[in-house]
Amino acid sequence: MSKRKQATSPTHATILDQLQEIVLRSDGIALPTYQSKTASVLAVHIELGNNSADAYLEHPLVADHAAVTVLTPPEALRPTLTLIFKVPMPLEGPSEIRDLMRALPVVFQNAVPCSDTSTIYRAPESATIEVRDTELTADHIEMLSKLGAEEKRSAKQETGKPYLRSSVRLRFQEPLLSAFGVEITLDQVGNGHRVHCPIHVGQHPTAKTIVFEDGQRGVICDHCRRTYVVTWTPPRYDFNRFEAIVRELAKAEDNPSDPSVRFISERYLPAIAIGDSGVSCVSSPKGTGKTEALREVVVRARQASKNVLLIGHRSALLQSMSDRLGLVCYLDPIEEDEEPVDSEGEGAESVGAAG
What letters, b where the CB count within 10 A reaches 16 and e where it falls short, cover 291-307? eebbebbbeebbeeeee
Provide the 3-class DSSP secondary structure of residue 126. coil
Can you tell me which of 223, 273, 289, 293 binds Zn ion, judged by CB under 5 A? 223
- Select the span of 23-31, 78-86, 198-206, 277-285 touching Zn ion (CB under 5 A): 198-206
Provide the 3-class DSSP secondary structure of residue 321. helix
Instruction: Specify whether the CB–CB gap between 164 and 227 falls below 8 A.
Output: yes
Instruction: Report the distance separating Cα 136 and Cα 66, nearest Å.
Output: 7
Neighbouring residues of 194: CB distance < 8 A, sequence distance ≥ 6: 178, 179, 205, 207, 208
Give the residue with the Cβ less far from Zn ion, 103 or 224.
Answer: 224
- Closest separation in Å from C-beta 77 to Zn ion: 29
Residue 275, Cβ density class (10 Å: 0-12 exposed, 13-18 middle, ≥19 buried): exposed
Q: Which amino acid belongs to residue 221?
A: C
Examine residue 290 and tell whether it contacts Zn ion (CB under 5 A). no
- Select the span of 45-53, 120-128, 164-172, 216-224 touching Zn ion (CB under 5 A): 216-224
- Select the span of 34-42, 224-232, 254-262, 324-332 touching Zn ion (CB under 5 A): 224-232
Instruction: Give how far Cα 106 sits from Cα of 32, 46, 49, 149, 210, Å.
Output: 17, 12, 18, 12, 20
Give the residue with the Cβ less far from Zn ion, 45 or 200.
Answer: 200
Give the residue with the Cβ less far from Zn ion, 84 or 220.
Answer: 220
- Select the span of 57-65, 189-197, 263-271, 295-303 touching Zn ion (CB under 5 A): 189-197
- Closest separation in Å from C-beta 81 to Zn ion: 18
- Select the span of 10-18, 68-76, 158-166, 197-205 touching Zn ion (CB under 5 A): 197-205
Instruction: Report the distance separating Cα 167 and Cα 207, nearest Å.
Output: 17
Give the residue with the Cβ less far from Zn ion, 193 or 223.
Answer: 223
- Phi and psi at residue 215, in whole multiples of 5°? 95, -10
Instruction: Specify whether the CB–CB gap between 151 and 106 falls below 8 A.
Output: yes
Give the residue with the Cβ less far from Zn ion, 91 or 224.
Answer: 224
Number of residues binding to Zn ion, judged by CB under 5 A: 6
What is the DSSP secondary structure assignment for residue 23, as one 8-state letter? I
Residue 333, Cβ density class (10 Å: 0-12 exposed, 13-18 middle, ≥19 buried): exposed
Give the residue with the Cβ less far from Zn ion, 72 or 206.
Answer: 206
| Residue 159: its H or E element | none
Question: Would you give the binding string for Zn ion spanning residues 1-40, x where CB under 5 A is met?
Answer: ----------------------------------------
Can you tell me which of 12, 122, 200, 290 binds Zn ion, judged by CB under 5 A? 200
Distance of CA 312 to the CA centre of its chain: 38
Other residues' Cβ atoms within 10 Å of the Cβ of residue 267: 8
Can you tell me which of 100, 123, 186, 224 binds Zn ion, judged by CB under 5 A? 224
Give the residue with the Cβ less far from Zn ion, 140 or 200.
Answer: 200
Provide the 3-class DSSP secondary structure of residue 59. coil
Examine residue 221 and tell whether it contacts Zn ion (CB under 5 A). yes
- Closest separation in Å from C-beta 232 to Zn ion: 20
- Select the span of 35-43, 53-61, 196-204, 265-273 touching Zn ion (CB under 5 A): 196-204
- Closest separation in Å from C-beta 83 to Zn ion: 17
Provide the 3-class DSSP secondary structure of residue 174. coil
Can you tell me which of 46, 97, 170, 197 binds Zn ion, judged by CB under 5 A? 197
- Strand partners of residue 210: 218
Give the residue with the Cβ less far from Zn ion, 90 or 192.
Answer: 192
Examine residue 196 and tell whether it contacts Zn ion (CB under 5 A). no
Q: In the complex, which residues of this chain contact Zn ion (CB under 5 A)?
A: 197, 199-200, 221, 223-224
